[in-house]
A and B are shown apart, each in its own frame.
Chain A
Amino acid sequence: GAVVSQHPSWVICKSGTSVKIECRSLDFQATTMFWYRQFPKQSLMLMATSNEGSKATYEQGVEKDKFLINHASLTLSTLTVTSAHPEDSSFYICSARDAGNTIYFGEGSWLTVV
């Protein structure tokens, strides 16, 4: 089946720095990718919808200047957490939609801000 890869799986950064998480569709093209945030033992909260070649659409309450999303190609979307703070520590999951509109999920990326 289709595979979505996220990198890095784990990242620790210092407060005030920025960190980038990549989401790649390995064997299919994804015109749309989604970014979610998940707190421990809680549900996935959709942060934004990323469309290739255009600006991401952010959900209400998500700071677009803090969570920068770039979907530069049909196989890659990136989430950059800018000026990270400890409260940004979370599990970030991406998903990608293929041409048949099936959605596949990545393995997630743990961000810890110290």
Chain B
Amino acid sequence: AQSVAQPEDQVNVAEGNPLTVKCTYSVSGNPYLFWYVQYPNRGLQFLLKYITGDNLVKGSYGFEAEFNKSQTSFHLKKPSALVSDSALYFCAVRDGWGANSKLTFGKGITLSVRP
């Protein structure tokens, strides 16, 4: 069975500074990796995904993530944080791309960007 680990509960950064939100995964086959953001009382918004190809994936709102197969990691990064980036971030792994595949989520990390 696949799993996702998000080791931190909260990440605090100052506006304008770079941010990194960590994620490691475990999956038996090829990993399909995702990052989602959730604002208070809202559903999930898709940020980016890694399916195949370049290890550095660029997504919405200036976010990017780097796939590292040897470290089984998919950390989310942004060069310059904004206060509006403050939200709950979920890393997820999918056990394939077929009709029976499922998404498994990490526990989520609260990102807090101070002015």
Note whether A and B form a binding pair: yes
Which residues of A are in contact with B by a Cβ distance under 8 Å? 6, 31-32, 34, 41-44, 46, 49, 91, 93, 95, 97, 101, 103-108, 110
Asked whether B99 lies within 8 Å of A32 as measured between CB atoms, the reply is: yes
Decide: A105 near B44, CB < 8 A? Known: A43-B107, A44-B105: yes
What are the residues of chain B within 8 A of A91 when measuring CB–CB?
Answer: 41
Asked whether A107 lies within 8 Å of B43 as measured between CB atoms, the reply is: yes
Asked whether B42 lies within 8 Å of A107 as measured between CB atoms, the reply is: yes
B103's contact among A31, A103, A106, A110, by CB below 8 Å, is which?
A103
B41's contact among A6, A43, A97, A110, by CB below 8 Å, is which?
A110
What are the residues of chain B within 8 A of A95 when measuring CB–CB?
Answer: 103
What are the residues of chain A within 8 A of B108 when measuring CB–CB?
Answer: 41-43
Chain B interface size band reads 20 to 34
Nearest chain B CB to A110 CB, angstrom units: 7
Asked whether A43 lies within 8 Å of B105 as measured between CB atoms, the reply is: yes
Ordered by A's residue number, 10 sampled pairs between the chains whose C-beta atoms are within 8 Å are: A32-B99, A43-B90, A43-B106, A101-B99, A103-B103, A105-B43, A105-B46, A107-B43, A108-B41, A110-B41
Which residues of B are in contact with A by a Cβ distance under 8 Å? 36, 41-46, 88, 90, 94, 97-99, 101-108, 110
Q: In whole angstroms, what is the CA distance A15 to B53 when docked?
A: 51
A42's contact among B43, B97, B107, by CB below 8 Å, is which?
B107
Find the A residue at minimum CB distance from B106.
A43
Beyond A44-B90, A103-B94, 11 additional pairs, beta carbon < 8 A:
A42-B108, A43-B90, A43-B105, A43-B106, A44-B44, A93-B43, A93-B44, A95-B103, A101-B97, A103-B103, A107-B42
Find the B residue at minimum CB distance from A59.
B102
What are the residues of chain B within 8 A of A107 when measuring CB–CB?
Answer: 42-43
Residue with the greatest number of chain A CB neighbours at <10 A, chosen from B44, B98, B99, B101: B44
What are the residues of chain B within 8 A of A46 when measuring CB–CB?
Answer: 102-104
Q: In whole angstroms, what is the CA distance A108 to B106 when docked?
A: 18
Decide: A6 near B101, CB < 8 A? Known: A43-B90, A44-B90: no
Q: In whole angstroms, what is the CA distance A105 to B37 when docked?
A: 11
What are the residues of chain A within 8 A of B90 when measuring CB–CB?
Answer: 43-44
Q: In whole angstroms, what is the CA distance A44 to B36 when docked?
A: 12
